Amino acid sequence: MAALRIASGLLLAATAVGERNDAMHLMQYNAESNLAAEDDRCRPWCINDSKKGWEEKCGYRACKGCEDCKQQNKSPFPHVVVLMADDLGTGDLSPWAGENTDIKTPWLEGLVANGVALDRYYTQATCTPTRAALMTGRYPLRYGLQSMVVFPLKAFGVDLKERLMSNVFKDAGYSTHMIGKWHLGFHDWTFSPAFRGFDTSFFISHGEHSHTNFTWRYPGIGNFGDLFRQSKPDCGGACTELLSYGLEKTNPHMGYSTMNWTNEAVSIIHAHDPQQPLFIFLAYTVTHAPCEQPPEEYRGDQSAIEDSQRKLFAEMAGSIDVSIGKIVTALKEKDMFDNTIIVFTNDNGGPIAAPEEPTDGLLYYICYPWGNWGQDSGSTNYPLRGGKQAAYEGGVRGVSMIHWPAGLTGGRRFSGLAHVADWLPTLASATGVPLGATQPLDGIDLWHALKTGEGHPRTEVMPYIDGRGGGEGGVLIRNFTKIFVGGPFQRGFLQMPPELGKKKGLTQEQAFEEPDDFHCPDGCVVDLLEDPRERGPPKPLGAEHAALKQAFDDLKNAAVPNLWDQYPMDQAALDDLLEKGYSWPWEAPDSKPELRRTKSHKDAARILSQLEGADLSMWG
């Protein structure tokens, strides 16, 4: 029974049930009049034009729905806010970890208590692949982003043929805004948010950045600026504002990242016309390293945690919760909250570090004391094995929830399989927005199941496959059976948060456990009900696993070759970076000569050689 409890992620039962309010009548009316089927013709008239226009285009019933919204000063379609946390572990938040964590997040806990929490939710193992899956509704293996992140010196991103969530909502008449961490391509303007369906964007383009000066660093060379604002669609070099400089022009403190992202979101909400539907994608840069303390008013109450590294991490996680509170408050002030769908998700398991793991030569930020209680940045995936960039559950099991007072009865848990790619078709279904000409989706529409609690539409998920240079392999989960093919699968130790160790009376040495790496060239399986912590040893494949192995092979064979292997570190990109001192689309035809600087490129060859041989898998 305990195994089932862990495998299902049912570690804490939500208690409060949200009440429907007067906006529910509007949602029921929209469903009754089948506005979803009329979206392409009706929505522009509902948002912009007169009653005569509605009647001519849509007929009386659709017109009546729009007119009711106009009179109530509300959008005829729900607003959507998608929030993504960076490097947050499955064992960090009490709605999923229960009493195993002492991190306090009251605003998020309130949303969960009145929403639907997903208990068997999967992401990819690292940043770019998960963000790509969220935006496209497709496995990143479909376009070559299955295992590694977008990097400032490599000329690739999400394929321009892919239709993103932002395109879907923009085409449906939504005002669309991107805030925070992009990390889906920036070597050319066409890969930036303004060209991918967002009306405005305020963002960092890449992976690992200071939370106070918005630079990324290369050891021994310096910091490089990477903060931008795009104030309109198709905003290239002529209108994109560079807000963060690097090298000797680095501004030591520009405000804390979570605070800046939140202020942007709140400003957008306050300035928004509530009669037009709103879509915000806010991708926080915490709790990713570097470990930098938020302002006191953004930390929340983390006084219960004594371990210094864990406490600093908790304060970073607490800044997300404070942000959620400010966004909820802004929505309520605009009378938009009841008609807003809020989705919260992380991007991968929390990074972990073995106490004896060397740090020499690492090209990313280190949080000290490194390896303390198995911590990297301070996150934990307890009780699951592994962490970020691992195929084990701790690397790919995520946390997620959905909240919508007007359309969803809250206080419930969803125990079916789910994947981050499911959010695109699910949100399209919930809002009545047409997906349009998307590529065939891997995401599954979970809306009916989340709304009614009936059924588990997804039966399998592929959260990990590594295609770099042949790669270590991949995994596929069908119900509770998990197949591993390849190996050895590394980054697979077990650890626990310091506060739990103290409650159990354990030392960190006693809490640390490192089972043998799984190595299954021909395939092996783990029953997640029998072995939820994947201690192993895994079982060899039997005849009953033939269909599962075939499904794995089919997905692996359908994968586009990994883009990381196809694009070397670009000398032109490095020259441009060293000359400017900040990230900029080096393949774009335009530039800002007045911002250019002069710098010796004597280090370029050494840097390129070092980067080509470096492990950059944790950089994003």
Q: Report d(CA 581, CA 186) in Å as an integer.
A: 16
Tokens of 302: 């983390």
Catalytic residue among 127, 291, 520, 524: 127
What does each C-alpha distance from 562 to 145, 273, 465 come to in angstroms? 6, 43, 10
Q: Report d(CA 29, CA 19) in Å as an integer.
A: 18
Task: Say whether 194 sits in a helix, a strand or coil.
Answer: helix
Identify the helix (H) or strand (E) that includes residue 473.
Answer: strand 473-478
Q: Report d(CA 341, CA 425) in Å as an integer.
A: 14
- Specify the amino acid at residue 397: R
Which residues does residue 340 pair with via DSSP β-bridges, in sequence order? 79
What does each C-alpha distance from 254 to 210, 213, 229, 320, 365 come to in angstroms? 10, 5, 14, 18, 19
Q: Is 183 a catalytic residue?
A: yes
What does each C-alpha distance from 447 to 27, 127, 335, 466, 590 come to in angstroms? 14, 25, 24, 30, 44
Half-sphere exposure of 306 (CA within 13 A, CB side): 6
Buried b (16+ CB within 10 A) or exposed e, 132-151: bbbbbbbbbbbbbbbbbbbb
From the list 388, 394, 363, the residue with the least C-alpha distance to 376 is 388
Contacts of 458 (CB under 8 A, 6+ apart): 416, 417, 418, 419, 422, 444, 446
Number of helical H runs and strand E runs in the chain: 20, 17
Catalytic residue among 46, 69, 79, 183: 183
Residue 361 neighbours by CB distance under 10 Å:
10
Q: Report d(CA 163, CA 234) in Å as an integer.
A: 16
- Specify the amino acid at residue 197: G
Q: Report d(CA 28, CA 34) in Å as an integer.
A: 10
Q: Is 127 a catalytic residue?
A: yes
Task: Find the distance separating the first CA and the last CA of the chain, reported in whole Å.
Answer: 37
Catalytic residues: 127, 183
